[in-house]
Amino acid sequence: MRVPAYLERRGAPTAIDDLGAHDCLHFSPLMDGASWRLVRDGRAADVTIDPLLQADNAEALRLAALGGRGIALLADFLVEPDLAEGRLVRVLPEWQVADSTVYAVYPHGRHVPAKTRAFVDFVAAEIGT
């Protein structure tokens, strides 16, 4: 299997504390500040990073990772084909991204349009309550 360009150049981190010394590609809307919250065996750890790139567009970060710019924390659905084809590899696979919260905000006490209700019900069924 081919090693992605960034890891060939810089090596892979072997512990989460190593991430601070790597070029990280940070998806800014989901996380406060420049840190990643990771979980292993039920234990959460916050890792402070100094991002090479911050963006509010996950596809831009995916493309930067594919271009060898650094390590990105991205959703599985976005990178599954890249992982399967070896264009990207998972680093620190024993660590997972901590759960985050998604809120649906709409007026309470008023009639909720059927389209809005259907969307909220769909999202709740897909990602949980």
Give 54-73 pLDDT, tens digit per residue. 999 999 999 999 999 999 99
Encoding tokens for residue 63?
Answer: 């493309």
Would you say domain 5-97 falls under CATH 3.40.190.290?
yes
**93-99 long-range contacts, Cβ below 8 Å, gap at least 24?**
94/40, 95/16, 95/38, 95/39, 95/40, 95/45, 96/38, 96/39, 96/40, 97/36, 97/37, 97/38, 97/39, 97/73, 98/37, 98/38, 98/39, 98/44
pTM score over 0.85: no
What is the tally of helices (H) and strands (E) in the chain?
4, 6
- Is the pLDDT at 32 greater than 60, yes or no? no
The ranges assigned to domains in the chain are 5-97
pLDDT digits (tens, 9 = 90+) for 37-47: 999 999 999 99
- Is the pLDDT at 19 greater than 70, yes or no? yes
Encoding tokens for residue 53?
Answer: 């790139």
* Residues 39 and 97 sit within 8 Å (Cβ to Cβ): yes
Q: Measuring CA to CA, which residue among 85, 82, 59, 67 is closest to residue 5?
A: 67
